[in-house]
Structure 1
Amino acid sequence: MSDMELFEFRDEPTEPSSPSDASPWTILSVEDDLNYQETLKFALRGFQVRDRAVHVLTANSASEAAVVISGHPEISVILLDVVMEDDDAGLRLVGTIRDVIGNESVRIILLTGQPGMAPCRDIMKEYDIDDYWNKSELTSEHLHTVVSANIRTWEQMSLLNQAKKGLQMVITASQVISSKTNLLSFTQTVLEEISHFIGSNSIICAQRIDGREPESIVVLAGTGRYGKMVGYSVQDFPDEDYFQLFQQVLNRKKHVFRDDCSIFYFSNIAIDSSEYAVLVNTPNRLTEHEVYLLRVFSENIKSGFTNVALYNRLSKLAYYDPLLSCHNRNWLIRELNGLSRQEIEQTQLVVVGIDQFNDISITFGDQFCCELLEAFYAAICRALPYRLVSRISKDCFAVLAQDYDDVSQAFFEALFNSPLRIRDAEHLISATIGVMKLADRPAKSGEETLDLLEGLIAEARVQGHAYISFVKTQDEHIAQRYALLSSLRGALHTDQLFIVLQPKIQLVDNRLVGFEALVRWRHPDGRIIAPEQFIHLAETSGLIHKLDEQVLEETCHAIHALQQVGINVPIAFNISSIELLQPGFFERMIALFKREHVDLPLLDMEITETGAISDYQRIKPYLTELVSQGMGVSIDDFGTGYSSLSHISGLTATTIKIDRSFIDRLDEGEVGEEMVNLIIRLSNYFGFTSVAEGIETENQRQKLIELGCQIGQGYLFSKPMTVDEAVSRYQLH
């Protein structure tokens, strides 16, 4: 009998009978006999199971099938030829499906074209094969029956697996967000998650600890309308009937089922003398599956935080990175602290940091950065397949290596000279690498070692190096930087930072027209630390946001202090270019001014020329809005950054500040004067106010007046002074 005789062929229906919005069932035919495969496909054309069409995928070899299966988890049934490229190809593919791909639910039906080739029962069981048929026995009608039955079985198994996975997700989520002693948080989360499964938003869990009195029954957790009952005795329950049910269940130690609700009893007396009753308020009686969910839930309550598995799970969470599923900083610190003396002598630590990660995040978004980190991590793992890679911060990875040759500078340069493929596009990512032989490290703890190496990378970036190796002579300098960084973190929380005010003076008549706020740091040992020593440190360590926020608050306070004595002049404040480009910066700044009740015309934001031009189109709408509301915008250090003359016509600003380096040249003759004259003329032409910085001599002041500069600041008029000194000095004028 030929293959064509096995099937009864019917005309195709002119219109599909399955709903247009119903997704088809997917089955896979794995067959090296192409004629038979086409015949089989034709027999299934137009066939439907429960008003859904059947879509047939094909593969002509075991290796091709493995690729198809891994890419199509929705496949419900596989019609698999036993003999293809070799006699056991079909059985080997079954092993791949079950053990390698891990697909336990797909239904596998073996087909053989040779009578007597059907596998024995032991092989069926060993390979988890669901059915087999001789091709000669598989008529069209029989084929439909077999496919339909197995699709239905797969659907039921899939639903069960989904329910099982859903429950596992509930338990895992509960474990993740709870601590070993926080039973309340654990129980509340599980109740909320279970409410999604059973369709009820009214679930309550009551606990009785070593007592039989009604007042000893306390609401442990609740969802929906019961959420406000947490911590109260069930005696306070608004529904007297439910209160009686709680008592009945806890005293009889049995479940109670009613049409409007169900209450489950669970005992944990052997562990902590506790009993639990879970009330589920539902319009219909709970199904067996819902009851099963609640039973498992009770086991989590009863044994959750004393369970060894939960403890292990929490430990894993403490030592693994959630995004990349690799070791994290805590793990690496533990490993470093546990190294023997011999291992220290043979090991070096390599830290690899992605350059300009914050800028990448701002430009491309958080999701892109997640994909970047995944690609970057994969590149390191490919290059060092036998090394344990840890993610130690948002943009840094670390590797422990025992042989030095494969972590050389040339190795990493070759590694990161190749672009990473992200979102179907190639991106060349630069990185900075720091290497330290652990035998040379002065630090004793793992945490200190990582801090030291991260400091080394920060130093390399400042110096423009992509690779740096630690030597003992660097220890003192890096240690000083990190000591200063540690002190800066403390300073931001203990009011050690303050502002001083430098007056801005009308040059022709010495009239006060404004101030510039300058940040200072009074160290606990009494030293005043200059901004150039800690501003860059704050920018590279991510502390600049907090620092700028404190400066803004202090500036607002200074404005109020000056207003109280009749001084109503604007105060300029400096904003880091890094902070300027952070998403939401302008919204947060405006919100702070509103909270402090400061009018925008009394404020002047100073941004450096480089910060203003580097991403000007993005910040221009914000600057335009601020200027329209009366706030000043000053371009600081003008002439020292980008090609200023080509950009000046497009700037949204009110003031150009002439850098002090140009003012110093006024005493050098005509060349210096011409530079300042050009800036002032351009400033006047485009409607900006010009402010000269760093005026120290009367000669400089007179030349600036002659050149048409309106305002100046510098030691000729006053050194920066405290707010109290400014109030005392200028309230008399």
Structure 2
Amino acid sequence: MSLDGPLFDFKPEAETSIEPAQQCWKILSVEDDAGYQASLIFALDSLEVLGRGTELLCARSAFDAAQIIAHNPDISVILLDVVMEDDEAGLRLVRTIRDVIGNAEVRIILLTGQPGMAPRQDIMHRYDIDDYWCKSELTNDHLLTIITSNIRTWDHLTQLTRARQGLQMVIDASQAISSKRDIASFTHTVLLEIGHILGIEKGGILCTLLQAQCEADDATILAATEEFTNLVGHTVKSIESSELRQAFHQAATRREHCFLDGYSLFYFNSTEIDKREYLILIETRRPLLSGEVNLLQVFSENISTGFTNVALYNRLTELAYSDPLLCIPNRNWLMRELDNMSQTDRQQAELIVLEIDDFTDIGIAFGEPFCNELLYCLYRQLVSALSPDIVIARIDHDAFALLTSSAQSLDQAFFAQFLSQPLIIADAEHRIAATVTVVALRLQPNRKPEQILRLAESTVETAHKQKLGYLAYNPGFEEDIASRYALLSELRSALSREQFYVELQPKVRLSDKKLLGFEALARWTLPDGQQIPPSQFIPLAETSGLIGKLDQLVLLQTCRALHELKAAGIEVPIAFNVSSSDLTEPKFFNRMLKLIEDAGISPSQLELEITETQAVKDYSRISPSLRKLIALGMGVSIDDFGIGYSSLSHITDLAATTLKIDKSFVDRLGHSRADEQVVDMILRLGECFGFTIIAEGIETEQQRTALMNRGCQMGQGFLFARPMPLPQAIEWARTHIQ
């Protein structure tokens, strides 16, 4: 059904009236005078109102009248004699009609043969009656006029009442279907609510799903009621009634709301979301009344919206619980699965995490398409190697989780053999390294799914620290986790109280060991005097999102150190380090320059240090900002140069002023010809492209001599000085200043 056309246009199969044969207007005369009853029958015999005749029902007493009214709720007018069994019989009947039977629409005309018996105004005020006449005042024409006008009034009132009740039914039905999110319960509820609106108690109702390019006989029955309930899950061809199948085929061909041979059919679709079409068939065995069509027109809009909402909900569920790259369960799905596991199942289950080592570096070296293909190949290889009962989910960009029972336990030997097999990517063999950890769920009986998964990931971190490729969790690991959390709490407190400080390590000219500058290095000492090494607190700050505050504090203290050095007559630049998360934060560079300006420091007195991996990974994003810093006079140093994945295209246009030869190459000078060639290459790059070259980690005179012989002029390391607190650095500088 197109949303551009009418939402609900019922197409009759033949030119027949959709309304049933119209009945006469029912009028009740409650009168104990047989002669007056006879005169009413004669007077009303030829009366027609709105094209319909009249039928006069007669009662001789209030008791008889109550019985007739109870069995004929469609009586439009009651001519009621005030005095019958006794003087109040008629008035008591009025109360019975309104209050006991609950008929508020019927028009009651009170008649009396004794003028003055009951005052007109008093009666109209005290009782819910619509008219009051003395029999002697009613001529034949007057009587017909009164009855005609009251029939018209009753017709309008009943139509309004039916419309109000019908709309309430539609509202209730719409609320009933709005809470359904899966197609089975939604379609079943739709069928029930349409049946309620049409007043169908036993008529067979069914709903089918049409697939695009699908034969009508192959459409699946999603929901059914009454005698058709046994068809749920089957196809249309399983319907025994040829008449019903024929009606379905015609409706499937038309793809619109229509009425066929006693069946009302409704067509809906959610093709824009999931390319599905739905057809509802209701065995009404009669054409629908115009009022029912109107109600279904309103309800039909809610059904149409409901099918779209169910499709959207299913799509969102798919996105929420499925990995978009591999189309397999994701982290959310795994947590839901863990949450639904019984304690018995947990006793036999293990959660295994397989994390690819150095995945980020692989991405930098080979690109995202290669990484995607690597993940796909690894997943296919896992599927081939594992039992079908083992669930595989992708829980991070570089990690899979396996959910298995203890009977299917996968040990270290299995994964060693599995990871030794190459992956075939673009017709070439590639081998990967991975870290595998195992958590037995029986050891976590009361933990929430997120806690279990975090525990498995923390075990991966422990394996990395211990340089292990395979590690099974044991409760003792929690002490390490608890200590990390305690340290994190200390870290937050230390940052808020500015308990971090910097030490300065000199950069010197290799020929005469004279001071050329400093590097500021963050240091942290706990209140009890314990020193926390940077290798421990910097990764913790990065993973907890606190590294930005730490970098800002280090820069602030670096600016203070520059002021104190200047006051001591020492004016050399100081290098400070920033993290990768800072570099990619849009407002970082502006905040940094504002801090430097507020501190009264010239950018030329500072040098920003970043690692080679950071510089290349986010090259296009950070390069313009680095160039602005260089234009302001600030140096930009690439730390650990030579161990990353720089390409020549980046090096030729690298936004930097200094390259630092990594300590690992300096350590192997005189022992590794390959490392010596790397050092020579970096020195030539500096000469060709105008970079200043500085070697770090120099610890022996032999290393200093080897570097000078190769043309390296600057360096830093323990041979010259260790990192020092500011007062000690000032004293050292006074004896080594140029």
- Normalised by the length of structure 2, the TM-score is 0.47
Q: Which has the larger Rg?
A: 2
Q: Which structure ranks higher in relative contact order (CA pairs < 8 Å, sequence separation ≥ 6)?
A: 2
